[in-house]
Amino acid sequence: MNESIKLSKCLMSHYLMFFVIDIKHIENKFEKLMRISQSHLGIVIDGDCENWTSVINQETDKKYFYETYHWLVTSTSENVTDDLSLLKLNINSDMHLVTLDSFNETDEAYTIYDVYNPASEHGGELKMFNIGFYKETVGYVMTNFENKYWRRRDMTGTHFKSAIVVPVLNQSLKDYLASDENRQIDSQHRFQAVTVQHCKQMYNFSLKMQRTDSWGYIQDNGRFDGLVSLLERRLIDFGSSPLLFKLDRMPFVDYGYGNWILKSFFIYQKPKVTASSYEIFLRPLETNVWLLIILTVCVILILMKIVFSSEMILLPDKKVRVEETNFSFLVLFAMGAFCQQGAACSPFFFSSRILAFFVFLFSILIYQFYSASIVSYLLLDPPRTIFNLKDLTESQLKIGVEDILIDRNYFVQTTDPDAIELFEVKIKNSNNNSGFYSPTEGLELVRQGGFAFHVETSTAYPIIEETFSNQEICELEQVQMYRTQPMHTNLQKNSPFREMMNYCMFKQLETGNIDRLRKHWDARQPTCIEGAKKQEFNVSFKEFSCGPVALGLGVLLGVICLSIEYLIHNKHKILQSLKRAWHFKYKKTTYPFVN
């Protein structure tokens, strides 16, 4: 009792909450007390109590030996290690053993050991490390400052089971994982398997690998298949394929560090923007500029009418023709100036010549700017018109998706209205009745043009580099359907090995191994060599059609005007012919040799 009072005073002096339990009368209270809502809980146990390990094993779950539970066992018994070996400890346990140092006769000292088992349910054995000592004169002295998982990295051949997702396999799994050929196939799985192999070497455990054909999606019976199913049923300890973070998997899977970055895009060749012909010819100038030009031409016509009429009146000896002062002739004069065709007459007044000079100057400036704008439109790369899924749906491109479970499941579960519309309009009713293609087939359609294909970049980029020309690579554009996101290391729910695997992954990240493996397994984006890019452009009939249409309208208008002019100039002959015909029809006259 006195010891309990002293301990209580000591803990209260440090403002710590505590409770004291007699292990002989623990009954069902221990489990309830272990569930108190504290972020960290320290448990001090007298290891000299009788059958204390059997009580703990019976009353506690192995999760109470996780990182947030800090155990301190005090004992003077020489058989304490035999008792500790009965506990359900794992590599993540935080348990220290305090024993009296029997070799120190001058000063009472206590030796502190770090106690753990690499994996009590996987054939592991109890391990103890001396990490410091305690003396009343100097207090607690720590002699080992290594990270817990680095200090415990030798798991002495503990046996683990794992699984990797490989939908199609034509050789032994061991040979497939050892090979670097065709890295664009199953890149993420083979990458993750390599990182797990590094952890295997670091921790010195053995690993039995098996294959599954799915990451894990809910089936019609409400249960998961694939990798998630194996983790849920505890048939494997952790996965060697990365998993996307999904809420429906959370109750059955623990997630670790996200090694692999999943990047997927719709890849397509930039569609050529073929505007209507009239838009091309009206594009260089804005509406207000066109109106200003028309107004300026009207003013020029009025001034030319005044000047040329004055020449005809003031210079009768120069024989200025009356036709040259008509508005129709002046319009033709102005059109000739704008089309760089010169003038059909020669003005005599200096004022008229000055006016004509500035008409030609104004015309050539407008002509040069206008024609240069049209040529630049044909030469420059067309502007980008597709920025999101909505634009892709409204485009003329056909759509396809890589035939993998991630993308198939995305269209089943997504609530994005643009993605749903894209699937219903473009993918569901596509040529192959499903809209899903193999990477090689889909990218070949992209190369031919007029097709957008959604595919993982790690799969697509190597194929593009091998099969696309530099010109075709330069024409490629990308649109994202879902965000770039990490794919995580995955383990059983409440697995004691999560932090162990996280430490291994962070260690690889710190040493640069993760970055090296990403560059090896995740392909870089193909580079467009601008210097080798060909400047090709073709003018389609749609763009050229304005010229023939204008010519046709001009011919039609000319024929109509010719007909009207013919009727006007020959109206007397036409009227006389009509009268004779009328007279012949209604006047009853007998002509010889007719009957």
pLDDT tens for 168-208 read: 888 899 889 888 888 888 899 999 999 999 999 999 999 99
Which pLDDT score is estimated for 55? 64
Please say if the pLDDT value at position 103 is more than 60. Answer: no
Q: Which residue has the higher pLDDT, 278 or 595?
A: 278
| Between 348 and 277, the higher pLDDT residue | 348
Do 401 and 436 form a contact (C-beta atoms < 8 A)? Answer: yes
pLDDT (tens digit, 9 = 90+) per residue, 522-579? 988 998 887 766 666 666 666 667 777 778 888 888 888 888 888 888 877 878 877 7
Q: Cα separation of 105 and 386, whole Å?
A: 83
**What's the pLDDT at 322?**
47
Looking at the predicted structure, is the pLDDT value of residue 430 above 60?
Answer: no
**Which pair of structure tokens corresponds to residue 127?**
């391990």
CA–CA gap between residue 91 and residue 175 (Å, rounded): 31
Assign 595 a pLDDT band (cuts: 50, 70, 90). very low
Count Cβ neighbours within 10 Å for each residue of 444-463 and write b for 16 or more, e otherwise: bbbbeeebbbbbbbbbbbbb
Residue of 42 and 518 predicted with greater confidence: 518
Q: Which two tokens stand for residue 428?
A: 């569901």
Rounded mean pLDDT of 325-334?
A: 73
Of 221-225, 283-287, 331-335, 458-462, least confident by mean pLDDT is 283-287
8 A C-beta contact, residue 393 and residue 422? yes
* Confidence category of residue 127, pLDDT binned at 50, 70, 90: very high
Q: Using an 8 Å Cβ cutoff, are 78 and 109 in contact?
A: no
Most distant CA pair in the chain, distance: 169
Query: What's the sign of the alpha-carbon dihedral 234, 236, 238, 239?
Result: negative
Q: Which of 198, 199, 248 is nearest to 228 (CA)?
A: 248
- What is the per-residue pLDDT across 28-52, written as a single tens digit (0 to 9) for each? 666 666 766 667 888 888 888 777 7
pLDDT at 488 over 60: yes
Q: Which residue has the higher pLDDT, 75 or 497?
A: 497
Confirm if 285 and 370 have CB atoms less than 8 A apart: yes
Least confident residue range of 111-125, 303-317, 443-457, 533-547: 533-547
Which is more confident, 281 or 409? 409
Mean pLDDT over each residue of the chain, to the nearest integer: 82
What's the token pair of residue 190? 């083979």
Output the pLDDT for position 453: 95
| Whether the predicted pLDDT of 323 surpasses 60 | no
* pLDDT of 434 over the 70 cut: yes
Q: Residue 272 carries which side chain, given as an amino acid letter?
A: K
* Residue given tokens 């409400």 in the structure block: 222
Q: What is the pLDDT of residue 293?
A: 82
Continuous segment of H or E residues that includes residue 13: helix 2-13
pLDDT reported for residue 431: 57
Determine the average pLDDT of the residues in 296-305.
Answer: 82
Distance of CA 8 to the CA centre of its chain: 59
The H or E element containing residue 490 is strand 485-492
Query: What does the DSSP 8-state code read for residue 87?
Result: S
pLDDT band at 75 (very low <50, low <70, confident <90, very high): confident
More confident residue, 568 or 429: 568
Q: Which residue has the higher pLDDT, 254 or 11?
A: 254
Q: What percent of the chain clears pLDDT 90, i.e. is strictly above it?
A: 35
Structure tokens at 221: 């019976």
pTM (two decimals): 0.73
Residue 264: count of CB within 10 angstroms of its CB:
25
Distance CA 425, CA 418 (A): 10
306 confidence band (pLDDT: 50, 70, 90): confident
pLDDT exceeds 70 at position 387: yes
Q: Which of 315-319, 401-405, 434-438 has the lowest mean pLDDT?
A: 315-319
Closest CA to 189 of 545, 500, 459, 544: 459
Residue 477 has pLDDT above 50, yes or no: yes
Among 9-13, 95-99, 542-546, 580-584, the range with the most confident prediction by mean pLDDT is: 95-99
- Report which of residues 107 and 20 the model is more confident about: 20
Q: Quick one: pLDDT at residue 197? A: 94
Residues 229 and 213: their CA atoms lie apart, in Å, by: 11
